[in-house]
A and B are shown apart, each in its own frame.
Chain A
Amino acid sequence: RKEVEQDPGPFNVPEGATVAFNCTYSNSASQSFFWYRQDCRKEPKLLMSVYSSGNEDGRFTAQLNRASQYISLLIRDSKLSDSATYLCVVPGGGSNYKLTFGKGTLLTVNP
């Protein structure tokens, strides 16, 4: 299994739809995980972190399944402004603070 592997996408959904992205990881020692959002020609920005089973912030829910080694990001009631690339980030085990990015999943929300 690769260090980090994301749904390749792209995802095209209508406004108001619910969409979910998955990300699998190989390092079972990883403790916390992150989802970043990257707009076209911009830098990645931290969207959410996941430490335990899940985290919810408004329309966004991040879930962690340690047994199956995957994390997911659910977006409810999609807005046009949600169109972006979503990157999952997995830390390395131990204390070296390494963070490995997935390749990203492109989401386009259509009117």
Chain B
Amino acid sequence: EAGVAQSPRYKIIEKRQSVAFWCNPISGHATLYWYQQILGQGPKLLIQFQNNGVVDDSQLPKDRFSAERLKGVDSTLKIQPAKLEDSAVYLCASSSDPHQRGQYFGPGTRLLVL
């Protein structure tokens, strides 16, 4: 079974630029999560999708972050404009049954904002 795919793996941009991340979840997984992980901390949930609907985006900085999962499969996360404090690893995870089976993570995108 293929795992969660993410791209790009690394991205370096200057502040105020835009950036987009892509995630392809495990086939058949209805639930998809985007997390932000800053060095030395646990992953922080940004947004959670159930199929193509948003379940929780309470911690998403909506003035600069946006995410979509139009067909209930792939998802993109965008930051526009980026700030220095957005430097982090952006992790995508998916699950077929989060409360029983947990979730599976992609390798993450490491973002550096200069």
Interface residues of A (CB under 8 A from B): 6, 31-32, 34, 36, 42-46, 49, 51, 87, 89, 91, 96-104
Contacts and interface: CB of A to CB of B under 8 A. Distances in A.
Nearest to A32: B99
Contacts of A100: 45
A97 B43 contact: no
Nearest to A47: B102
Nearest to A88: B42
B105 A44 contact: yes
Contact of B42 (A31, A43, A97, A102): A102
Contacts of B41: 103-104
Interface of B: 31, 33, 35, 40-45, 48, 50, 55-56, 91, 95, 98-108
B98 A97 contact: yes
A99 B108 contact: no
Nearest to A85: B42
A42 B107 CA distance: 7
Nearest first, the 9 closest Cβ-Cβ pairs linking A and B are A101-B42, A43-B105, A97-B98, A103-B42, A46-B102, A34-B102, A91-B99, A101-B43, A104-B42
Contacts of A87: 42-43
B102 A43 contact: no
B98 A43 contact: no
Given A51-B100, A87-B43, 8 more contacts: A34-B102, A43-B107, A87-B42, A96-B48, A96-B56, A97-B31, A99-B45, A99-B103
Contacts of B56: 96, 98
Contacts of B44: 101
Contacts of B55: 96-98
Contact of A43 (B40, B101, B106): B106
A43 B6 CA distance: 11
